Chains A and B, each alone.
Chain A
Amino acid sequence: MSDVAVEVEQLARRYGRRWALVDVTFRVPTATVMMVTGRNGAGKSTLFRVLATAIRPDRGRATVGGFDVVHEREDVRKQTALLAHQNYLYESLSARENLDVVADHLRIGRDGIAGVLEQVGLAARANDVISTFSAGMRKRLSFARVLLQEPKIVLLDEPYGALDPPGFDLVDEVIRALKARGATILMTTHQIERSAQLADLTLMLEDGRVVGPAAGRPLSGPLDRGRAARETAAEPAAPQESVC
């Protein structure tokens, strides 16, 4: 795979009257972890849904794994997995059955399911119906769903959300495992200090625009990574007069 996993050029996406993404440009090298931060409504989730080809951009271009998100959606989808706000699960099915459905549609055998359930700590509740699951357990099952796809590019939207402290460790462990396997990981998060330990790059969004640091450039140094991240978050973004 080429050295650049994700490349985005002046991406824009509109929801009726509002431009959720106005002008986003960045590049993510392969096998790196990028942290995307920004207030609620900055466009983080929209960006991830565009990269995962769930929605089409209205303007601009993006390639994921070398494939265009608009014209080569199938190929993009083969390589990516999205952990979205919605957990993509069937309430009336059990944890194992949900993963059975995913495995059948991926046309890979069902043998990997037990291992993945074990990895996310849901082996004990495998046969319980999802409607009895707590938000944290659903997030763990969504993680299992991502792992089952063995993606090259992983899009994690708020991976820490609704998880308990052991869950945080699980997320870190999964991200390190995926990175070790050469996968590229993009994650949106509000826990900046914690994610900064893992992230090689950071990207800050505000009102659909990239506001810092300069897109795709790695942070100054490993030691002051936390401080730099906090600093960029605090730095008052140049006032953008947005027309919409």
Chain B
Amino acid sequence: MNQGVVTGGWEFVWAAYSLTAAMFLIYGVSLFLRRKGAKHDQRH
């Protein structure tokens, strides 16, 4: 890795953004599913 300007590196940038988006999405979906499960338990 040369001194000074880090060339390229776009793949790392995309990796970071997509990972962040994926984790937030997965967590949101898991919250939604667990919410339905908890509601279901509550009715019985």
Q: Do chains A and B touch in the complex (CB under 8 A)?
A: no
